[in-house]
Structure formats: structure tokens, C-alpha cells
Chain A
Amino acid sequence: MAEYNKSEAELEAVFQQKIDSEQKIEPKDWMPAAYRKNLIRQMSQHAHSEIIGMQPEGNWITRAPSLRRKTVLLSKVQDEGGHGLYLYSATETLGIARSELIAALQSGQAKYASIFNYPAQTWGDMGAIGWLVDGAAIVNQVSLQRTSYGPYSRGMVRICKEESFHQRQGYVIMMELAKGTPAQKQMAQDSLNRFYWPSLMMFGPHDSESAHSAKSMKWKIKRETNDDLRQKFIDQTVPQIAYLGLEHPDKDLVWNEEKGQHDSGEIDWDEFYAVINGNGHSNRQRIQHHVKAHEEGAWVRDAMSAYQQKKLQRKVNAETAA
């Protein structure tokens, strides 16, 4: 295509028309710089969330209370690593290297989902995280299957298949606890209480407060608003809590017949911003853990490339000798 003799405005018109007609934008297509930047921000934040999210659950693999649950949890955490890799590759199609993305994470320049700044204190938290945190992520990711950027959209399709297993394993943990001993039931309630509100916060600020929303909607990077997605999650969670026989943490929650959805209590946005801005229990720990593993692995990565180099050199030497 002779894109070089089109003006910026013409290119942008073609681009927006593609988006309006539900065509995917592919890596080689022309795209506005701001679209690219916006995508890199969102996709890398998503990738980092998968990776940092391995920590709170990884923290419980060695303590899982049965071999079956240990197996399932370990597979789940593995999957998250896979999602991280998959999303890093998808982000790289936008012309940025994984090493740059990781550097931005470690310097604090790039973000990850703030939910992972909450500590995983009990086995019940493995239930609540799988059920609510992965559950909230799914609501968002199902919507993102229709995002306008091709590699991101395809990544979401693939990831969503695994996510439903994640949510189920969390809910199974909660079911066992809820029908178990009084101490187990108490554990389930406590985890629900601590993770319910932060899960709602995962959808981000109200639409009226959201910095990136309008443009993202126009470019169809986002397909549904924060509040709409959050409402879906709130509504789907109500019967799940009831089925467990646990108390709903939101005391103001009522069914609104007219709207056909639940009205709920207000989220503590002060807490939301406080945790995002570094006041969560685990913010520093998460990044330091990541940096430590990365630094301790430096000599391994060096050895790998040195060995690769030697192997190559030997091959060249053998060929010149022959």
C-alpha cells in the first residue's frame, strides 16, 4: 500500500474507519502514535499483572493443605506465567522489547494491577483470589476479546479459556471451606471480606474519573466502560456468595427491579488511591521480589548466551577446518 504519500490526517481517517467497521489493527498497519502508546501501556500493565500476580499465589504452593489442591494451584500459577509471556510477546509486536518493559516495571514507571499489593494471608485467600480476582479479570478480558488490536484480541481469546479454570479452582476452594468446619467457614468469610472490595476496584475508577477511558473507547481498545464491567461482576457474584452461604460484605447492596441490577455501596476510593500510590501491604515487596529474582538470574542468563556463543563459534571453526 502506498501509505507514504498519504497525509497523517488521511491515514488516521483510514485507521478510524477500520476500527469503526470492526476490523482488527495488525502490527504492520499504520496507527496513531497515541494509539500505540496507549496499547503499550495497557498491554504491558496487563502482562506485568500476570507476572506479579504469580507472587501472592506462589506464596502458598508450598503450604497448600492437600496434594490435590497443591497440584491445581501450581498449575494455575504456571498458567499465569504463560499469560505473562504471551502478553509480553503481543506487546513486542508494537515495537518495544521485553527487556524495556521489564525495566519499566522495576523502575515503577509501568504499573501492574493494584490488587496484587494486597497480602495473601490464609489458604482462604487462594480461594478468594481465584474466585474474585480471576473472576473480575475474566469479566474484563472477555470484553477485551473484541479489542481493536489483533494480537491483543487473539491473546485474550486464548487466555480466557484458561481463566475460567482459574476461577473455578478458586470457587472450589471456597466451597470446601464454606461447607467445612466452623474454622474453615470463618476462613472463607474472612477472605471474602478482605478481597471483595479490592476486586471491585480492579475495574478502575468510575467512568467520570477515568483518565484513559474516552479515547480508549473511541479506538475500541476498551469495549465497555469500567462501571459497566464492574456492574456485571457485582451482579454475577451475588448468587455465588449466596450459594456458599456466606455473608455479603456489601451491607448496602439491594436489588433494583427497575434497572434489573444491584445497587451497591460506595467503594472506598481513598483506599484505592492509597494502595496504588504505594501504601498497600505488599507494594515494595512485590517489586523487590521481582528485582531480586531478576538480578539473581543475571549470571544464569549470561551463561546461557555465553554458551550459545561458544557453540556457534565451535560450529564455525569446524566448518572452516573442514
Chain B
Amino acid sequence: MTSSTEIVSKQDTIDYAARLGDDAIVIGHRLSEWVSKAPFVEEDIALGNVALDFLGHARMYYTYAAKLSNEQNGTNDITEDNFAYLRDERQFQNHLLHELHKGDFAYSTARQLLIDVYNKYFLEQLKNSSDETLAAIAVKAAKETKYHCRRSKDWTLRLGDGTSESHERMQLALNDIWGYSHELFEVDELEQRLVDAGIAVDCTLLKADWLKEVTAIIEEATLTVPDQDWVVSGGRQGYHTEHLGHLLTEMQFVHRSHPGAKW
């Protein structure tokens, strides 16, 4: 890989780290909504664990974005919290799939399957990033993602091949979210510059492996891969569904009510 610094600006890397952080914080938030509402206590704990993992990933990405921002601006007071709490809906660049509402347990399971398998392939590539910090984050996150994938697969099998009700709910969930999966594999101009510099992952290359693995699991669960004739995208450009605004309102309310306060 070529040396990157002269080809891309620091701002590009900041934006990239921030959007990876956005993905992680938003799905972590959704998962954390399950705590005390899961089908049984063991699942409250397990879902909380996965939420904690994503929260941890978000903090690593945001902390890196904050460090680069401080370097760029000659400041030292930008932190991970600036990224999570002080940006508006239009500035968040997470994939739409992550922000969709919590839904029922089938909905959360189906979404998590798509995201976890995606992360598995994504992080495998990010490990090769010429940016050492991003590569190191990928190594850490990949270990947890392995466990997430196993969990999501197990639950997909249980629900898909469980009762007729659980089967129906899973199929409905897959149908409802499938159109949001395509943007996971888009690369915009920012990411293309970073791909060329060896920093970012070329997501377009992940789709074949992802689809193969997800399809195998869905079919083993006696479910059907939905028709692929609808596509929604825009998250990376800050063009969100109505779900995100409410999520951010809740997440940011206290922090923003006390400008400059420490917690």
C-alpha cells in the first residue's frame, strides 16, 4: 500500500473514523434498549454485552477522530463525547440499517445477523489498513465480532426453525430490513479517496462473501432471502430515516442541557 498522508487529508480520516463510530454507537444504543426487556434475564445480559462491545468500538473510533481533530486544530479539548453528543442528525453518517427502531426480538435478531456478518468481513479488511490505529481497532473489534456472529446465527436458526410464529416473525423482519442492507456495500467519494490511499475498506468487495454466508444461514433456518427489488440508502450522506432523530434526542439531551459540563 502506498503512503497515504500526501494523498488524503487528515479530515478525510477523521470523517471516516467518525462514521465508523456512528455505526457502532447507533447499533449499540438500539441493543441497549433491550436491557430489562429481553425474553429472559440471560438475554438481558447477553444483549447488554453485545451493546457494550459496540459502545467500546464507538469509543475507539471516536477517540481516534478526536485525537486527529485536536492535532488538526491545535486544540486539546475535543473528545469522543463531542462526536457522540454534539453533532446533529444531518452530521451523523451511520448506515440506516443501524438506526431502524428496536422492533421485536425477531427484528433485532435479523438486523444483527446482517450487521455482524458484515462486520466480520469488514474488520478482516480493516486490519490491513495502512492507518495503524484503525488497523489496531479492527484487531480488537474482530475478536468480539466473532462471538456476535455465532450468537446471531444461533438465534436466527432457533427463530427461523422454531415455531410457525417465530418463523413468520423472522421472515417478516428480514423482508422489512433487506432493502437497507445494500448501502453497506457502497463506497462514496470520501471512502474512495481513502481506499486509494490504503486506509479504508473497499466495501464493494465484501458483498459476495457476505451474501453467501448470510444466505446459507437464512436457508439453514428454513427462511427465504427476500426479493432484492428495493434499495434505500443515504446514511453515509446524513440522509436518515425518522428513527435517528429520536434516538439522538434521547441520547444527547442531558449532555446538551449542560454545555461544557463534566460528567
The answer to whether B41 has its CB under 8 Å from any CB of chain A is: yes
CA distance A304 to B157 in the complex (A): 9
Task: Please determine whether B32 and A299 come into contact, CB atoms closer than 8 angstroms.
Answer: no
**CB-CB nearest in chain B for A183:** B258
CA distance A181 to B166 in the complex (A): 51
* B56 partner residues in chain A, CB cutoff 8 A: 71
Task: Please determine whether A58 and B262 come into contact, CB atoms closer than 8 angstroms.
Answer: no
CA distance A298 to B37 in the complex (A): 12
Task: Please determine whether B162 and A307 come into contact, CB atoms closer than 8 angstroms.
Answer: yes
Q: Find B165's partner among A81, A297, A303 (CB 8 Å cutoff).
A: A303
**CB-CB nearest in chain A for B21:** A67
Q: Find B162's partner among A51, A81, A296, A304 (CB 8 Å cutoff).
A: A304
Contacting B at CB under 8 A, from A30-64, are 51, 54-55, 58, 61-64
Task: Please determine whether B161 and A64 come into contact, CB atoms closer than 8 angstroms.
Answer: no
The answer to whether A13 has its CB under 8 Å from any CB of chain B is: no
With A77-B35, A176-B263, A181-B261 known as contacts, the answer to whether A67 contacts B40 (CB < 8 A) is: no
Task: Please determine whether A297 and B40 come into contact, CB atoms closer than 8 angstroms.
Answer: yes
* A55 partner residues in chain B, CB cutoff 8 A: 36
Q: Find B49's partner among A62, A78, A84 (CB 8 Å cutoff).
A: A78
Task: Please determine whether B166 and A66 come into contact, CB atoms closer than 8 angstroms.
Answer: no
Mostly helix, strand, loop or mixed at chain B's interface?
Answer: helix
Contacting B at CB under 8 A, from A291-322, are 292-294, 296-304, 306-307, 310
Task: Please determine whether A74 and B55 come into contact, CB atoms closer than 8 angstroms.
Answer: yes
CA distance A306 to B254 in the complex (A): 44
* A106 partner residues in chain B, CB cutoff 8 A: none
* B262 partner residues in chain A, CB cutoff 8 A: 176, 180
With A81-B48, A303-B162 known as contacts, the answer to whether A63 contacts B169 (CB < 8 A) is: no
CA distance A97 to B129 in the complex (A): 52
For residue A58, give the distance in angstroms from its CB to the closest CB of chain B: 4
The answer to whether B84 has its CB under 8 Å from any CB of chain A is: yes
CA distance A228 to B255 in the complex (A): 41
* B230 partner residues in chain A, CB cutoff 8 A: none
Task: Please determine whether A302 and B165 come into contact, CB atoms closer than 8 angstroms.
Answer: yes
Contacting B at CB under 8 A, from A250-304, are 289, 292-294, 296-304
A-B CB pair tally, cutoff 8 Å? 136
CA distance A63 to B42 in the complex (A): 24
Q: Find A301's partner among B36, B39, B258 (CB 8 Å cutoff).
A: B39
Task: Please determine whether B41 and A84 come into contact, CB atoms closer than 8 angstroms.
Answer: yes
For residue B220, give the distance in angstroms from its CB to the closest CB of chain A: 12
* A302 partner residues in chain B, CB cutoff 8 A: 162-163, 165-166
Could you tell me how many residues of chain A have their Cβ less than 8 Å away from some Cβ of chain B? 47
Q: 0/1 per residue, B85-123, Cβ < 8 Å to A? A: 100000000000000000011000000000000000000
Q: Find A71's partner among B33, B59, B261 (CB 8 Å cutoff).
A: B59
The answer to whether A65 has its CB under 8 Å from any CB of chain B is: yes
The answer to whether A85 has its CB under 8 Å from any CB of chain B is: yes
With A62-B33, A74-B51 known as contacts, the answer to whether A293 contacts B251 (CB < 8 A) is: no
Task: Please determine whether B29 and A65 come into contact, CB atoms closer than 8 angstroms.
Answer: no
* A51 partner residues in chain B, CB cutoff 8 A: 41
The answer to whether A69 has its CB under 8 Å from any CB of chain B is: yes
**CB-CB nearest in chain B for A290:** B36
The answer to whether A82 has its CB under 8 Å from any CB of chain B is: yes
CA distance A81 to B48 in the complex (A): 10
Q: Find A58's partner among B36, B39, B62 (CB 8 Å cutoff).
A: B36
For residue B25, give the distance in angstroms from its CB to the closest CB of chain A: 8
With A71-B56, A296-B39, A299-B169 known as contacts, the answer to whether A65 contacts B48 (CB < 8 A) is: no
The answer to whether B38 has its CB under 8 Å from any CB of chain A is: yes
For residue A214, give the distance in angstroms from its CB to the closest CB of chain B: 34
Q: Find B258's partner among A58, A74, A181 (CB 8 Å cutoff).
A: A181
* A303 partner residues in chain B, CB cutoff 8 A: 158-159, 162-163, 165-166
With A67-B84, A293-B36 known as contacts, the answer to whether A62 contacts B251 (CB < 8 A) is: yes
The answer to whether B250 has its CB under 8 Å from any CB of chain A is: yes
The answer to whether B137 has its CB under 8 Å from any CB of chain A is: no
Q: Find B52's partner among A69, A71, A306, A307 (CB 8 Å cutoff).
A: A71
CA distance A189 to B113 in the complex (A): 45
The answer to whether A184 has its CB under 8 Å from any CB of chain B is: yes
Q: Find B55's partner among A58, A71, A183 (CB 8 Å cutoff).
A: A71
The answer to whether B58 has its CB under 8 Å from any CB of chain A is: yes
Q: 0/1 per residue, A64-101, Cβ < 8 Å to B? A: 11111111001101100110110010000000000000
CA distance A300 to B261 in the complex (A): 43
* A181 partner residues in chain B, CB cutoff 8 A: 258, 260-261
With A61-B32, A71-B55, A74-B52 known as contacts, the answer to whether A306 contacts B162 (CB < 8 A) is: yes
For residue B155, give the distance in angstroms from its CB to the closest CB of chain A: 9
The answer to whether A149 has its CB under 8 Å from any CB of chain B is: no
The answer to whether A195 has its CB under 8 Å from any CB of chain B is: no
Smallest CB-CB A-B distances: 8 pairs: A297-B39, A303-B162, A303-B166, A300-B39, A65-B254, A58-B36, A66-B263, A307-B158
What are 24 A-B contacts with C-beta separation under 8 Å? A63-B250, A65-B255, A65-B258, A66-B81, A66-B85, A67-B25, A67-B62, A67-B80, A68-B263, A75-B52, A78-B45, A78-B49, A82-B45, A85-B41, A181-B260, A293-B38, A297-B39, A300-B39, A300-B166, A302-B163, A302-B166, A303-B158, A303-B159, A307-B162
